[in-house]
Amino acid sequence: MELVNVLVAAAASWVFGAIWYMALAKPWVEAAGIEYDENGRPKGGSPTPFILSAICMIVVAGMMRHIFGMAGIETVGKGLISGLGIGLFFIAPWTMINNAYGMRPFKLTLIDGGYSTFGCAIIGAVLTLF
């Protein structure tokens, strides 16, 4: 059952990411400095980032499930808040550090950090549903 929890939580966050980045596609592409075609799609696109992001979501959800089990986080509210905290206070700051050293626009940090924050909140909530 734990594997199902992890896979469902990872899928939920991954789907949220697709919606998040579709909604913010234009500002993200501009902030990331990615060249795009006349349709607004990145040039030379590849399925690799989608595959890697799905794998990474499983890894993140799996580790969060492990931490939640050790910490006794079992309710949806606690899962949501704990996931929010992991995204906001672990992943988003790390993203900001990487973007700052890469001299990337702060807008990119807000977009990527926002996904980290809300994506982890979704994982946390979904992990505690089962």
Local confidence pLDDT in tens for the 130 residues of the chain: 699 999 999 999 999 999 999 999 999 999 999 988 887 777 887 899 999 999 999 999 999 999 999 999 999 999 999 999 999 999 999 999 999 999 999 999 999 999 999 999 999 999 999 8
What local confidence, expressed as pLDDT, does residue 36 receive? 82
What local confidence, expressed as pLDDT, does residue 70 receive? 97
DSSP letters spanning 42-74: BTT--SHHHHHHHHHHHHHHHHHHHHHHHHT--
> Domain map of the chain by residue range?
2-35+46-127
The answer to pTM > 0.85 is yes
What local confidence, expressed as pLDDT, does residue 28 receive? 94
Question: Alpha carbon of 26 to those of 16, 54, 99, 116, 118: distances in Å?
Answer: 17, 22, 18, 19, 20
What local confidence, expressed as pLDDT, does residue 1 receive? 66
Give 55's Cβ-side CA count (13 Å radius). Answer: 6
What local confidence, expressed as pLDDT, does residue 43 receive? 82
